Structure 1
Amino acid sequence: MASSPQPPPSSSSPLLAEQHRLDEDTQRQRHWKRWGPYLSERAWGTVREDYSPHGTAWESFPHDHARSRAYRWNEDGIAGICDRHQMICFAVALWNGQDPILKERLFGLTSNEGNHGEDVKEYYFYLDSTPTHSYMKYLYKYPQTAFPYARLVEENRRRGRQALEFELVDSGIFDDNRYFDVFVEYAKATVEDLCIRIQIVNRGPEAATLTVLPTMWFRNTWSWGSDIRRPRLKQGQPTNQMSVIETNHDYYGKRRLLCEGQPPLLFTENETNTRRLYGDQDGAKYVKDSFHDYVVAGEKDTVNPDQIGTKAAAHYAFTLAPGATKTIRLRFTNEEQTPEFTKQDFDAVFDARLREANEFYDSLAPATLSEDARQVQRQAFAGLLWNKQFYHYDVNRWLKGDASMPEPPRERLKGRNVDWTHLYNGDVLSMPDKWEYPWYAAWDLAFHCIPLALVDPTFAKEQLVLMLREWYMHPNGQIPAYEWALGDVNPPVHAWAVWRVYKIDKKRHGVGDRRFLERCFHKLLLNFTWWVNRKDADGKNIFQGGFLGLDNIGVFDRSAPLPTGGRIEQSDATSWMAMYCLNMLTMALELARDNRTYEDVASKFFEHFVYICRAMNNIGGEKIELWDREDGFFYDVLHLPNGETRHMKVRSMVGLIPLFAVETLDSELIDSLPRFKHRMQWFIENRPDFAQHIEIRSYEGGVRRFLSLVGRDRLRSVLGYLLDEEEFLSPYGIRALSRYHRDHPYVLNVMGHEHRVDYEPAESSTGLFGGNSNWRGPVWFPVNYLLIESLQKFHYFLGDHYKVEYPTGSGHHATLSQVAAELSRRLTHIFLKDAAGKRPVFGGTTRFQNGQHWQNHIPFYEYFHGDNGAGIGASHQTGWTGLVAKLIQQSGE
């Protein structure tokens, strides 16, 4: 190995080394984030790779094609990294001598194969990462017997939606610990000098063989007709007992991958195997899956003997005794000269980076945090940082096809995303989950940015700004939802996220980034206008909006035409818009501190919020309101074509979202803005029918004005449901649907058809929205987080004297601040060990609960069982579940 520059010196300031790198990257002095974990876990089965007539993405590009077919838009791999433009990729491939295919990517079920939708069927964990990716660690658990691909498909297909999913651990493949732990670590010696350490541990009772292929390749950019330049990989001159792969790329120039131990090198092309897929006997010989043919099938002539190509690997094969560890060291560098470099020097780089990572995270964690809570928080941050991905999607080109490829079916020009031809994405983005959701989702991303802002506020701000740029945001002002339907409507939480990130950043640095706030505010004005013009059908300040990310929460699919005809007035859509008004009002007032012209627009949002408050309580005039006076709860209202209206009495998160729209205006701020204060006072005095929605209270030093969609008279009623353990209050947070519906399902008969909503605390029993998501009982982190924040805001105005029964019916009373803290505790304890040493997130999976090498590796699931806290859905939806890092930070538990 070659010597590398010493790491930045440590100092008495624990933040210095990693924070110094963050500062250098922010100021574009040194690009510490150029290389990172930006490689997807799955590129097959995505919309971008789908060129079928009718948008059948999973079938158009199945897993069976992935090893043989060149990707058009993005690459995937195991524990992979790449540059921020994904020109050069690196990942680890494995073969245990038994599998039918070389393990180059993670396997899972498609939406149609899984009994609860798409589902990854592997075990891998993001153990650590600094925000600059100066240190990263990943764990993959690889079985030693043949991977049960067919059995996983067949058993899950056989099971109905009422049954549990059949998981890899259920197959018995990990019995007797017959598996390898494959740890992959990265440490940056410099910006362009990456040390890679792969450690394989045999956890089994017997010796076992393994082939490891550390693989480097170029994303295929030359086959599509726009750029025919082909970069090259070739064998370099061996040096210091190392094999060398040389790279030559027009953008990045010459670099080398140094491979310890002089392993044999394999070369091929990142090109489609047309022989295998399409029966083309004249197809190229050296293709994407040549390493599979070489290693698994033993076809030695499938790799290029000239040692040149666009895909290359070092070939390590060995046998490990029980409990033994094998370490492979590699270095990827742009240095052409490589003087002597010892194992000790190499490991010293890892030791330094790990020490600096420890110092960085220790400085963030409250001193009172337990070791277990520190571990959970750090892995939550690691998941957020590992789930960054280079995301490439040019809708216009995707629809029309590439010049060198066959013309796509013309049906596509009337199908998915045809109204979004302006959209061009080519950035590193925060993903919900790089296997199940390897594409950005607008409202998911907004929540990701809250915990990300704790460790890297620059990246969090960049993510929020990107969604508002003209090549993302639609010309009409809509923010893109996700690639499956860019025009779907997500809850408008972007303004909330902008404000929260601004505040977190301000607290961290002592000064707010007004330029960031102002940039976002102006674009959000466009988005707010889109909402008002498109989703308020009657111009009455009551909004529709569709399913709003809550999938199957309603009686009907709210994103589709109603089987009854007519329309639904949505409690949640209207509440989200009221919250949006308050977010914009708060930002406008902050900006008005320096620029008084913002006082006028602040007045606009103040008045608009009050109009929504009024409409929320009077929709339908004498006919019906969103508030049900009999139950004391908010419901959606169904308007039928014959003029009939009725409450759809489903007690769900839809009726709790009104709590999100709450804010207090202190006189210290309002008195400094005389034009806004004058306009607000005029409105209160001259519109007394609206003024009832504004509560005013004096306190020592000034006056507070309280704006809330749920007034104090209705707050107790809603909280009575929220804090009832037989309704919404779970031991692990707030359920999305009241458990009341377990024994009292809501049933609506329409034209001879029964539509019903039952309490389902785990997976969905229907195929609505793919069946891989369920809002009929489980606990979801994003809405729980907003509930906690709202309760804190209510407490800020109402004070300690305002107490509620907690839990409902217990006789114990608590302030709203105490209730918020208790809800936060319930959520964080999903992941923490209980008195018996069990983590609720693992449910009844014995191996995870008791296994020595399993119990401390935390998957951050998409949502959680409403009764026992077990993780459900996407297993690495670290994005919004990563909010647990912020809750732990606040609790200091």
Structure 2
Amino acid sequence: MSQKNAEEQRLAVSDNYKYWKRWGPYLAERQWGTVREDYSANGQAWSFVDHDKARSNAYRWGEEGIGGFCDSREILCLAPAFWNGKDPILKERLFGLTNGEGNHGEDVKELYYHQVSTPTHSYNKYLYKYPQKKFPYSDLVKKNKSRNREEPEYEILDTKAFRNNTYFDCFIEYAKADVGDILMKITVVNRASKKASIHVLPHLWFRNFWKHNKRFERPTMKAISDNCVMSRSVRNGRYYLYHENGKQLFCENETNNKRIYNVENEVPYVKDGINNHVVDGLDTVNPEKKGSKFAVWHKITLRAGEEKSIRVRLSKKKLEDPWSGFNSTFNARKQECSEFYNDILSKKDLPKAHKDIVERAFSGLLWTKQFYYYDVHKWLFGGPGELKPYRENPRNFSWQHLTNRHVISMPDKWEYPWYAAWDLAFHMASFVEIDPYFAKEQLVLMLRESYMHPNGQIPAYEWNFSDVNPPVHSWAVWNVYDKDKQKTGKGDIPFLEKAFQKLLINFTWWVNQKDKSGTDLFEGGFLGLDNIGVFDRNHMPPGITRMQQADATSWMAMFTLNMLRMSLELSKNNKSYEDLVAKFFRHFLNIAWAMHHIGKKDISLWDDEDNFYYDVVEMDSGMTNRLKVRSLVGIIPLFAVEIIHKDLFDELKEFGRRAADIVRTRPDLASLISNIEETNEDGNYLFSIMRGFRLERLLRRMLDEDEFLSDYGIRSLSKYHEEHPFVFKHHGHHQIQYEPGESRSNMFGGNSNWRGPIWLPLNYMIIQSLRKYYLFYGDSYQYEFPFGSGRKLNLKQIANELSKRLLKLFERNEQGKFQYHSDDESMVYANDEHFRDEHLFYEFFHGDNGKGLGTSHQTGWTALIANLIMEMD
């Protein structure tokens, strides 16, 4: 085995949060407007603490910043703030629209880029672009509010803020000299043609953990010299912040009650004191130079094109010369970062452009870690000695056991600064490539007793933990285990066994809660696919007693196969798992049978006429109807596939006998599954819902450019519905039509759309599934790609072609733009040297032109583009 590079050696240290991961980019990019901070009676999270109140409100559950760092319990926070001398407030936090303000829902309206990070955050770099003109807060709100759903969003580049390059590039870098020795460098570059001034204020502050916990007294920061501040807390001891020059400013991280509630403040120098002193010249900072929030104020003037750096060092130790070795440490960590990514990418012969995509994707994933703290019981009822909050309809009332206090991978730290269960599962499929330790820890974390409900449900997301996401956790566990085993040559059995035991509980929850009639046909509601249905599948029209969902049932078939695969692996070391192999084998056969035999009329989720899977609704009259919507719902059955070598089964004699009994006594069950009794020439069994003829017919639709196949991947809804909307008339007119871009309906707020656009996670699963089918069928099965072209490819080749189409989203088109910026009329991302190499990772992509849509920094599951690049043959 090759020698580990420096970053890999740091990663291998056990209990890394006590060591190299103790500090990292764990600050949210938005804490305001979250459920956690909502203490309104009516649950209006977006307005209770909005952007305007955020500078004056001391948060209860977390903190936010621009390119910030904090420790893994967010006791102490470090982040810069900026002021161009014209704005009415300091730029301490990113600005964006609330759900009600945007014509397509909430959306950040800033330009920032997660440039690079190592897994232990020994080196991190972030770019924030700050206008020299007055920031267009009101213009962005007003213009977006005036636009309808048919119109594009009004973005900051559409304003005058960045015209003639009148902006600063603010590079925020961190390098660790040691576990408790954090070096910060802020480099500001004037991109304008004239000189300009900017105020740069590195901030250090304590999260307000003392107000709601009487065990802790307020910590202190105080100046011990003109260039050093000491912080002291019973929770993390002493830290020393060293800075070069600048004016020291202190206040308390306490709410400005006078401004927000019009009652007297409890302390004289409150949270917005530094803002009010710098911007308005008010006497709102503590002249005694002490507090729980600190900033050092620099004002610099830069000629056109000039750059200047400000250095800060936060150390657990008192240093004689804090600047000795500062630059050499930065250089060493940057070099080690390059070596880490070079070693990962050296396994593939990739062009530089593709290597850049991979590095940016993984780095964005690392930057979107966040300390997430939420104790639902305390949020509902108050902590010891606190008054009980008044809530008309208490959110998440049934999740009072939930206490989250960990660093967790977020979908996006501005728009989704809270974990989402199925997002996180996809994140770990990418994390395992760079940090398998973190990937395993995160998957087990979601299964802990303070996360998983006592009934076995995995929490969905903080707006409603009881919502149901697809059961992809088992898929992620097996993927992480298998990839880690391939890399190390040894499977992490303790991890697999621990996860498997908890997943058994979750599996039972699904069976008991989402198959209430015991027919092995599953419901689940929207299942994370938001508006993909003809109506909201969480709230069906009156008269529908049940919906048998093709996607929910297929996800459960996949869940069953994942559990079968894990129990087989665990049986190698412990034969008692053979019983569970038999259980999941039989359960998989039962689900496959049920998908094709519904009720007394023996209706199938598969439609022989359309050659597609559809949801089926049962009416209170006893009638059933297929909802003939050609969407990803009907493609998800592809995912229920597993290839298992006969040697594994040969070792399990007891299971072999029981499986033979099942096949003999219920040949009707076995006949539904592709080649259940046959191996291919390599000795592999195929477990799949899709028999050969169904696979072929489904692929005809999926690979048809007039239906699902786009130039940039697989659409979430067939383009067939552009000219042929599906209409369901029952207690109203319900219609679904192909919408390739932003949603035209307000279902689920309208800020995401599964009615046409391309989504990376399910495209990734399609490609993974095709590769599995190829392992069984090899070159014997070939299909037209695209359908109707006459060009026949095997399934692995088709998987590669789909990967190439998805990769085109991130490549430059004929105009020199990244395809996801295809609507950039200013050509700034094509021509401007300070923009052209900055990647964004959008939530989803336009089904026809590939434009990036939704959240612009959802590196989370869109980081799977890196996996596709690395896995392409």
Same fold (TM over 0.5): yes
1:250 equivalent among 220, 230, 234: 234
Q: After superposition, where does 1:648-659 map in structure 2 within 5 Å?
A: 648-659=627-638
1:474 paired with 2:453, answer yes
1:17 paired with 2:6, answer yes
**Alignment match, 1:448:** 427
1:863 paired with 2:844, answer yes
Between 555-564 and 68-77, report the one with greater CA deviation.
555-564
The structural deviation recorded for 1:678 is: 1.6
The structural deviation recorded for 1:712 is: 0.7
**Alignment match, 2:760:** 781
2:338 equivalent among 351, 358, 373: 358
2:729 equivalent among 705, 730, 749: 749
**Alignment match, 2:357:** 376
SS, match of residue 399 in structure 2: coil
SS, match of residue 93 in structure 2: coil
1:332 equivalent among 298, 311, 314: 314
| 8 Å CA contact 2:242, 2:322 repeated in 1 | no
| 8 Å CA contact 2:313, 2:322 repeated in 1 | no
2:255 equivalent among 254, 260, 272: 272
Whichever residue aligns with residue 257 of structure 1, its letter is L
The structural deviation recorded for 1:426 is: 0.2
The structural deviation recorded for 1:474 is: 0.3
Q: After superposition, where does 1:488-567 map in structure 2 within 5 Å?
A: 488-567=467-546
Q: For structure 1, list consecutive stretches of 5 or more residues without a partner in the other structure.
A: 1-11
The structural deviation recorded for 1:236 is: 1.5
| 8 Å CA contact 2:249, 2:296 repeated in 1 | yes
2:270 equivalent among 263, 287, 290: 287
Q: Distance in 2 between matches of 1:43 and 1:244?
A: 29
Q: Distance in 2 between matches of 1:402 and 1:537?
A: 37
Q: Distance in 2 between matches of 1:212 and 1:340?
A: 20
The structural deviation recorded for 1:280 is: 2.1
1:138 paired with 2:121, answer no
**Alignment match, 1:712:** 692
Q: Distance in 2 between matches of 1:584 and 1:639?
A: 30
Q: After superposition, where does 1:60-209 map in structure 2 within 5 Å?
A: 60-209=48-197
Whichever residue aligns with residue 62 of structure 1, its letter is D
Q: Distance in 2 between matches of 1:442 and 1:777?
A: 23
Q: Given the superposition, is the C-alpha separation of residues 391 and 282 from structure 1 closer, same or farther in structure 2, using an over 3 Å criterion?
A: closer
Q: Distance in 1 between matches of 2:590 and 2:41?
A: 46
Whichever residue aligns with residue 656 of structure 1, its letter is I
Q: Given the superposition, is the C-alpha separation of residues 182 and 770 from structure 1 closer, same or farther in structure 2, using an over 3 Å criterion?
A: same
Q: Distance in 2 between matches of 1:385 and 1:126?
A: 9
Q: Distance in 2 between matches of 1:112 and 1:594?
A: 55
**Alignment match, 2:792:** 813
Cα deviation, 1:395-446, whole Å, max 9, x if unaligned, reads 000001245655311424xx31000000000000000000000000000000
The structural deviation recorded for 1:464 is: 0.1
Q: Distance in 2 between matches of 1:165 and 1:700?
A: 53
| 8 Å CA contact 1:555, 1:757 repeated in 2 | yes
Q: After superposition, where does 1:764-779 map in structure 2 within 5 Å?
A: 764-779=743-758
Q: Distance in 2 between matches of 1:674 and 1:702?
A: 21
| 8 Å CA contact 1:221, 1:227 repeated in 2 | no
**Alignment match, 1:303:** 285
**Identity across aligned pairs (percent)?**
52
Q: Distance in 2 between matches of 1:115 and 1:429?
A: 30
Q: Given the superposition, is the C-alpha separation of residues 376 and 225 from structure 1 closer, same or farther in structure 2, using an over 3 Å criterion?
A: same
SS, match of residue 859 in structure 1: coil
1:232 equivalent among 220, 230, 236: 220
Q: Given the superposition, is the C-alpha separation of residues 30 and 281 from structure 1 closer, same or farther in structure 2, using an over 3 Å criterion?
A: closer
**Alignment match, 1:6:** none
Whichever residue aligns with residue 336 of structure 1, its letter is K
Q: Given the superposition, is the C-alpha separation of residues 636 and 698 from structure 1 closer, same or farther in structure 2, using an over 3 Å criterion?
A: closer
2:440 equivalent among 454, 461, 479: 461
**Alignment match, 1:391:** 372
| 8 Å CA contact 1:14, 1:359 repeated in 2 | no
1:665 equivalent among 631, 644, 656: 644
Q: Distance in 1 between matches of 2:416 and 2:545?
A: 33
Whichever residue aligns with residue 362 of structure 2, its letter is F
Whichever residue aligns with residue 392 of structure 1, its letter is Y
| 8 Å CA contact 1:128, 1:137 repeated in 2 | yes
The structural deviation recorded for 1:696 is: 4.6
| 8 Å CA contact 1:623, 1:645 repeated in 2 | no
Q: Distance in 1 between matches of 2:607 and 2:94?
A: 49
SS, match of residue 59 in structure 1: helix
Q: Distance in 2 between matches of 1:22 and 1:259?
A: 30
Cα deviation, 1:73-111, whole Å, max 9, x if unaligned, reads 010011100000000001110000111111100000001
Cα deviation, 1:637-680, whole Å, max 9, x if unaligned, reads 12111112111111000000000001122212111111112211
2:42 equivalent among 51, 54, 57: 54
Aligned residues: 869
1:825 paired with 2:804, answer yes
Q: Distance in 2 between matches of 1:515 and 1:553?
A: 39
Q: Given the superposition, is the C-alpha separation of residues 29 and 181 from structure 1 closer, same or farther in structure 2, using an over 3 Å criterion?
A: closer
Whichever residue aligns with residue 750 of structure 2, its letter is G
| 8 Å CA contact 2:557, 2:588 repeated in 1 | yes
2:301 equivalent among 297, 315, 319: 319
1:738 paired with 2:726, answer no
Whichever residue aligns with residue 875 of structure 1, its letter is S
| 8 Å CA contact 1:733, 1:823 repeated in 2 | yes
Q: Distance in 1 between matches of 2:462 and 2:542?
A: 27
| 8 Å CA contact 1:372, 1:833 repeated in 2 | no
1:880 equivalent among 861, 864, 873: 861
SS, match of residue 590 in structure 2: helix
Whichever residue aligns with residue 318 of structure 2, its letter is E
Q: Distance in 2 between matches of 1:432 and 1:600?
A: 37
The structural deviation recorded for 1:624 is: 2.5
Between 227-236 and 859-868, report the one with greater CA deviation.
227-236
Q: For structure 2, list consecutive stretches of 5 or more residues without a partner in the other structure.
A: none
The structural deviation recorded for 1:578 is: 0.3
Root mean square deviation of aligned Cα: 1.5
Cα deviation, 1:729-779, whole Å, max 9, x if unaligned, reads 01111000001111111111223x211101111111111111111000000
Q: Distance in 1 between matches of 2:807 and 2:668?
A: 43
1:636 equivalent among 608, 611, 615: 615
Cα deviation, 1:452-494, whole Å, max 9, x if unaligned, reads 0111100000000000000000000000000000010000000
| 8 Å CA contact 1:275, 1:283 repeated in 2 | no
SS, match of residue 705 in structure 1: strand
Whichever residue aligns with residue 798 of structure 2, its letter is V
Q: Distance in 2 between matches of 1:691 and 1:347?
A: 67
Q: After superposition, where does 1:335-346 map in structure 2 within 5 Å?
A: 335-339=317-321, 341-342=323-324, 345-346=325-326
**Alignment match, 1:8:** none
| 8 Å CA contact 2:96, 2:106 repeated in 1 | yes
Cα deviation, 1:758-812, whole Å, max 9, x if unaligned, reads 1111111111111111000000011111100110111111111100111011111
Q: Distance in 2 between matches of 1:319 and 1:410?
A: 50
SS, match of residue 829 in structure 1: helix
What TM-score comes out, normalization by structure 2 length?
0.98
SS, match of residue 810 in structure 2: coil
Q: Distance in 2 between matches of 1:788 and 1:488?
A: 27
The structural deviation recorded for 1:62 is: 1.1
What TM-score comes out, normalization by structure 1 length?
0.95
Whichever residue aligns with residue 253 of structure 1, its letter is G
The structural deviation recorded for 1:14 is: 6.9
Q: Distance in 2 between matches of 1:620 and 1:106?
A: 54
